Structures are given as C-alpha cells and as structure tokens.
Amino acid sequence: MKKTVRLGLAQINCTVGDLEGNSEKIISYIQKGREKGVDIISFPEMAITGYPPDDLLLKPGFIRDNMEALNLVARQCTDITAIVGFVDATKAPSPGKGEARGRLAYNAAAVIHNGKIKVVSHKIILPNYGVFDERRYFIAGSKCLVFELDDIIFGVNICEDIWHAEGPTGIQALKGKADLIININASPFHAGKHKERAHVLARRVAESGVAIAYTNLVGGQDELVFDGGSMIFDSSGKIVAGAPLFEEALLVADINLEKEAKQVDRNKGIDEELTISSSLLQGTLKPKKELLEPPLSKELKPLEEIYKALILGTRDYVLKSGFKKTIIGLSGGIDSALTAIIAVDALGADKVLGVAMPSRYSSQGSIDDARLIASNLGIEFSIISIEDIFKTFLSSLEPAFEGYEADVTEENLQARIRGTLLMALSNKFGSMVITTGNKSEMGVGYSTLYGDMAGGFSVLKDVPKTLVYELAELRNEMEGFDIIPRNSITKPPSAELRHEQVDQDSLPPYDVLDTILQEYIENELSINEIVALGYEKATVSQVLKMVDSNEYKRRQAAPGVKITPKAFGRDRRMPIVNKFRR
C-alpha cells in the first residue's frame, strides 16, 4: 500500500533538568522504534529538558548543554526519522520589542534524519496563561514546516500550536499539502482534559483533512502531572490508535495516508503572517509485510483518572526528589486515610510510615481507626502522644499568656507539635512527610501553618472534600472491601483540637462549601453572582473572605497534584496583600 507510514509515539517520562537521563531514554526508545520497523518516531515537547524547566531556561549553560544532549541523540538516530522536543538557542540577542528581554530560546522540535538534525521547527503559539509562562522564556516561531519523505508529506508542530484553528496546522495541510501532522506535547492533566484534547484534534482534522499524531509527555513534575494518552487520528477524524494514560508507552501504528478528496474549508482562520517552508528528507518508507493492528487504550472513568493522577504525581515527586520513604500523620480521619493509601499505591506499603499523635482531645475511636487503616494497608505504624509536650509548652507559655483565655492558639499549638514530631521523624529517617489537607481546607485556611501543613508534598491539595469522599469510595470498591474503614468515611469530620469540635462548627456543610469555592476560584464569579445561584449571602461572604485572607498560608504550602482546571499554586497567582472584597 502506497502512503503507509509506521509511526511510533514515544510517550516517555522525562525529568526536568536531567539532560543525560532524558537523552538516554530517548535513545533507548529510538532503538525500540527501530526494532519495530517504525518510520517516524516522535517524542514529547521538550523531551530533552523535561517540562517545565522554568527559570533553568534563563541559564545559557542549561541551553548549551541541552543542545549537546540533542546532538548526542541525533548521532544515534539512523535508519529512522525522529521528532525530538528540545530548546533551541537563539543565535543573536532576542529581537523585537522590549518584551523579549531575557528570552534566549525557542521551544523547538528537531527533525532528525540519517543521524543528523535536518531542520528545526519552532513553536508558534506560546501559552502564557494558567500554569504556563512560555512568553517569559521563548520567542515565537513564525515558519510552518512540512517534510517530504518518500511519498508522504508531514508537518510538525508543538502543543498549543494545534489548539487553534488559525495556527500552523491549517497552513501545513492546505498550503503545505501535508497528509499528516506530528504534534508533540507536554500537556498537563486536569479532570476531563484527555477528552478535551481529543475534541480539539478532531476539529483540526475536520478543518484541514490531515491525519494527526499527538504525542504527550507522561509523569509528575512538582504540581503538574502529564497524563500521556498519546493518540492518532486518521484523516476521517477517527481515533485509530491510543496509548494508555499515566504510563510510559511506545505506541506503534501503521497509518495509510491515501485519503479521499475531502471538502475542507481552505480559508478558515489562517493567519497570513505565518509562512510555509518545505524540506525533502532523502529516504524511503520501510516496506510493510503486514499492517499492524494498532492498540486503542481503555477509557478510564473520571474518578479513576483522578485517582491515577494522584498516584503518579506522588510517586514522581517523592522519587524524583531523591526520597524513598514517606511519613504520614494518621488521625483516623478520611483525609489522612486516603493520603496513606495513595502513598501505598504510589510507592508500596513498605515505604510508608503511619504515625498517630493523640492528644487529650482525641477519641479512642480515632486512634482505633488510625490503627485499623495502618493494618489494612500493611504499613508500619507508631503512636506518639503529644500530651506531655503540649503540657510543657503550656507551662512554658504560662507567664506570657497570663490573663488571656484559651483560644485558637492552643489548637494551633497541638497541630504544630504534630508537625514538629513528623519533621523530626523525617529528619531522622530521611523520609518525606506527606501532608493530608484537602482543597476545601486549603481554600478557606482551615489548617495550621507549620502544623498539619508541614511536609514536602500535599497530595490532596487540589481535591475538594466532597471528592475526597468519592475517591475513598472508589478505592474501597477497587479493593472489594472497606480498606478505608467505613467509620472514617461516615463520622462527622473533626480536627479534634478541642472538646467536641467538628469542622461544621466553623465551616458550612462541605457540599455547599465546595460549590462556592468552585464558583469563586475556578469560575471567577463575584459574590453577587454566587448568591444569585441560590446561596445565602452571609455564607458566601464568609467563605470568600476566608479564601482571600488566607493567601499567606497557601503561599507557604507544599506543592500538590493539580487535578482541577484551577489549582492553588502556579495556576492561581493571587497577591497576599489584597483589599479587593466585592
């Protein structure tokens, strides 16, 4: 069959800054691709450097070393064509108006052929919203590249480039006569994102009539999880091959590019400032004895997707930070139970230590629940009472506190003693403390800075409390029994920092709270707009005030896994001093 190309989409887990490790991995996948008779193998956006390298990109030495690493990869790349994401140094100081200040590079894809870097393609549309800061680092490209290889023509573009009708895809397809677009990505996860991507790609196919091979990064990097899910669309807009989510994979598929003459809108939104450039790659497609039946990945349910993101994010943060073991404070409540089981799923039961730290306010039930969770998970478990330490603090502070009533001070003190104990265990054993707060608490500041917020990673930071319950139920279903004890799920949530305390003394019911938080944080609604949805003004006002006045706490929080369209952290950059209250 003429025009049949074997594609390899190498969905690899790169590590930011690990130029050597990333290059070695790329070379090993090139070898794998060759063994499978792949004609063209594609790697994720910035596969050489990992994504996002942030201000490493301001170091000329980093960019130089990344170019060297790419050259090393190129020399290994014979008998196959490879598309490799890297950072392309500018030859001259950054051009254009002053906004380009400091920018040294292009976000680039090298087209490697016969052991040489044949042409370099530059990302044209640079995202600078949400978690992205690409205009801080990169100069935008303006040339749309297409390549002739034997009897096919393919175009290369990068991530955001394919999200827009007026981007390069249409030009490559229509002016450049491309049959196929190879689009490389570092597209981070949030719930439902994989479907959004498929929808966008289908639209591009419909507009331009090309097949699209979409290669995504996989793995965790600080707050972000890249979920993989690489996929290939044929020119009719059908998904013909898909890689799994949240795992490394080499997706191999034979794609026939002989398409019927198709009616496409040749003038739709094309940006006339972009130019087209064509290169001839000397070589032929490999003869195919028989066509491969390409794999299609299994769809995940929305909750499963989120759960897998939390596992991958936790595993990669802990391991890529150089830690092997973790410590979790187990209160007997649902947040710490879910956190512990995620850590076990990420790292193994022998890598998790659970510690209960009861006080005078802890019920026997809580201690029993904590012990049961640990025993269900098969993790090591210790109990360290905070009572003696708490008493000593109170007596040391007695002269200073004379004449003052007990208040939130004494509550925070207990949380900080616990944080200090966990950090002491962390220091002594070289384990990372995983904190257990959820997005609802983080949103309203219902947490103690340097107390329950103390630790290296905050798994549930972007998981609202109502979703914590759903994930706990999911995980119990997966297990076939209540590995997270039923009692931890059903009892009224409490911080147990004073007698008979429950969360709902201070907060609205969590279903109400979570909706208000979502409307305010993700949807940017104003107080009146939220009230108009049917919530009490006093409640909305109280919640919004708590969100705004606790920015200082969130600023000192550990990173966690982004799973919603807007997470706290690099995704939502609010001033600390902020008097906006309407």
Q: Is the peptide bond before 52 cis (omega within 30 degrees of 0)?
A: yes
The yes or no reply on residue 496 touching a copy of itself (CB under 8 A) is: no
Piece of 100-108, 172-180, 291-299, 494-502 that binds a copy of itself (CB under 8 A): 100-108
Piece of 38-46, 81-89, 275-283, 377-385 that binds a copy of itself (CB under 8 A): 377-385
Residues 2-31 that bind a copy of itself (CB under 8 A): 15-19, 21
Q: Decide if 159 is catalytic.
A: yes
Task: Say how far apart CA 226 and CA 228 lie, in whole Å.
Answer: 6
When the beta carbons of 61 and 287 are compared against a copy of itself, the nearer one is 61
Q: Which helix (H) or strand (E) holds 102?
A: none
Nearest partner of 473 among 349, 307, 313, judged by Cα: 307
Q: Residue 146 corresponds to which tokens in the numbers above?
A: 């297409």
Q: Residue 531 corresponds to which tokens in the numbers above?
A: 């009230």
Piece of 128-136, 170-178, 186-194, 251-259 that binds a copy of itself (CB under 8 A): 128-136
Q: Which helix (H) or strand (E) holds 227?
A: strand 224-227
Total H helices, total E strands in the chain: 17, 20
When the beta carbons of 300 and 433 are compared against a copy of itself, the nearer one is 433
Piece of 98-106, 259-267, 366-374, 460-468 that binds a copy of itself (CB under 8 A): 98-106
The yes or no reply on residue 467 touching a copy of itself (CB under 8 A) is: no
Considering only residues 3, 32, 37, 54, which one is a binding residue for a copy of itself as defined by CB under 8 A? 54
CB contact set of 26 (below 8 Å; sequence gap of 6+): 10, 12, 43, 47, 48, 73, 82, 84
CA-only gyration radius of the chain, Å: 26
Choosing from 14, 25, 123, 553, the catalytic residue is 123
Task: Say how far apart CA 312 and CA 222 lie, in whole Å.
Answer: 11
Residues 57-86 that bind a copy of itself (CB under 8 A): 58-62, 65
State the CB neighbour count (10 A cutoff) for residue 285. Answer: 17
When the beta carbons of 385 and 487 are compared against a copy of itself, the nearer one is 385
The yes or no reply on residue 557 touching a copy of itself (CB under 8 A) is: yes
State the CB neighbour count (10 A cutoff) for residue 88. Answer: 24
Choosing from 14, 77, 144, 159, the catalytic residue is 159
Piece of 2-10, 130-138, 363-371, 436-444 that binds a copy of itself (CB under 8 A): 130-138
Q: Shortest distance, CB of residue 219 to a copy of itself, whole angstroms?
A: 10
When the beta carbons of 9 and 104 are compared against a copy of itself, the nearer one is 104
Considering only residues 122, 190, 194, 416, which one is a binding residue for a copy of itself as defined by CB under 8 A? 416
State the CB neighbour count (10 A cutoff) for residue 91. Answer: 5
The yes or no reply on residue 522 touching a copy of itself (CB under 8 A) is: no
Strand partners, 516: none
Coil, strand or helix at 549: helix
The yes or no reply on residue 370 touching a copy of itself (CB under 8 A) is: no
Residues 281-320 that bind a copy of itself (CB under 8 A): 316-317, 320
Q: Decide if 428 is catalytic.
A: no
Considering only residues 90, 118, 127, 469, which one is a binding residue for a copy of itself as defined by CB under 8 A? 127
Structural contact between residues 43 and 214, judged by C-beta atoms closer than 8 angstroms: no
Structural contact between residues 530 and 519, judged by C-beta atoms closer than 8 angstroms: yes
Q: Shortest distance, CB of residue 204 to a copy of itself, whole angstroms?
A: 12
The yes or no reply on residue 417 touching a copy of itself (CB under 8 A) is: yes
Task: Say how far apart CA 153 and CA 567 lie, in whole Å.
Answer: 40
Structural contact between residues 438 and 335, judged by C-beta atoms closer than 8 angstroms: yes
Piece of 143-151, 367-375, 438-446, 567-575 that binds a copy of itself (CB under 8 A): 567-575
Considering only residues 8, 228, 456, 485, which one is a binding residue for a copy of itself as defined by CB under 8 A? 456
Amino acid at 158: I
When the beta carbons of 282 and 523 are compared against a copy of itself, the nearer one is 523
Q: Residue 323 corresponds to which tokens in the numbers above?
A: 């830690």
Total residues contacting a copy of itself by CB under 8 A comes to 102
Residues 380-399 that bind a copy of itself (CB under 8 A): 382, 384-386, 388-389, 391-393, 395-397, 399
CA atoms within 13 A on the CB side of 177: 9
The yes or no reply on residue 404 touching a copy of itself (CB under 8 A) is: yes
The yes or no reply on residue 275 touching a copy of itself (CB under 8 A) is: no
The yes or no reply on residue 199 touching a copy of itself (CB under 8 A) is: no
Structural contact between residues 535 and 512, judged by C-beta atoms closer than 8 angstroms: yes
Q: Which helix (H) or strand (E) holds 376?
A: helix 364-377
When the beta carbons of 163 and 214 are compared against a copy of itself, the nearer one is 163
Chain center to CA of 492: 32
Tell the residue number behind the tokens 């400091």, with chain if given.
102
Considering only residues 39, 45, 207, 222, which one is a binding residue for a copy of itself as defined by CB under 8 A? 222
Structural contact between residues 12 and 51, judged by C-beta atoms closer than 8 angstroms: no
Considering only residues 280, 424, 532, 538, which one is a binding residue for a copy of itself as defined by CB under 8 A? 424
The yes or no reply on residue 419 touching a copy of itself (CB under 8 A) is: yes
The yes or no reply on residue 101 touching a copy of itself (CB under 8 A) is: yes
The yes or no reply on residue 92 touching a copy of itself (CB under 8 A) is: no
The yes or no reply on residue 407 touching a copy of itself (CB under 8 A) is: yes
Considering only residues 277, 284, 375, 578, which one is a binding residue for a copy of itself as defined by CB under 8 A? 578
Q: Compute φ and ψ for 527, nearest 5 degrees.
A: -55, -45
Q: Shortest distance, CB of residue 446 to a copy of itself, whole angstroms?
A: 15
State the CB neighbour count (10 A cutoff) for residue 132. Answer: 17
Considering only residues 8, 155, 167, 354, which one is a binding residue for a copy of itself as defined by CB under 8 A? 167
Task: Say how far apart CA 138 and CA 108 lie, in whole Å.
Answer: 10
Structural contact between residues 363 and 335, judged by C-beta atoms closer than 8 angstroms: no
**Annotated active-site positions, please?**
45, 123, 159
